[in-house]
Amino acid sequence: MYIADVLEVVDEEIGDVFVMALLNIAYLPSIINPLIVVETGKKNKREIKSNTWKVPKLCLNTCLYLLIHTFKHLKGSKCGDKLLKLLASCLFVQNSVLP
């Protein structure tokens, strides 16, 4: 069962809650963040101590693959279109909000 199938079955209000949870728990930290925050492989001591240097959870190719399939399977449904608009705004709008 795809996410699109779940979003088609549930009520619109429940779908909106599901979309926001999916966005904040799965997409933004794991898929969108590695595409936006590009860090060098070198770490200095200050970054290690302050714990600001973060390694992406997924590689760039995996993130792109998941986004392509998300856009492919979710287009056309109400809740799916809402998620796609939010994902697109995170990717393409300057100064978009990330957690």
Q: DSSP string of 37-82? A: ----S---HHHHHHT-----SS-HHHHHHHHHHHHHHHTTSHHHHH
The answer, as to whether pTM is greater than 0.95, is no
Number of domains forming the structure of the chain: 1
Q: Would you say residue 81 lies in a domain?
A: yes
Q: Would you say residue 98 lies in a domain?
A: no
What is the domain extent for residue 45? 3-92
Q: Would you say residue 88 lies in a domain?
A: yes
Residues 57 and 28: beta-carbon distance below 8 Å: no
Per-residue pLDDT of the chain (99 residues; tens, 9 = 90+): 577 787 787 788 888 888 899 998 888 888 888 887 766 555 555 555 555 545 556 888 999 999 998 888 888 877 888 888 988 888 887 665 554
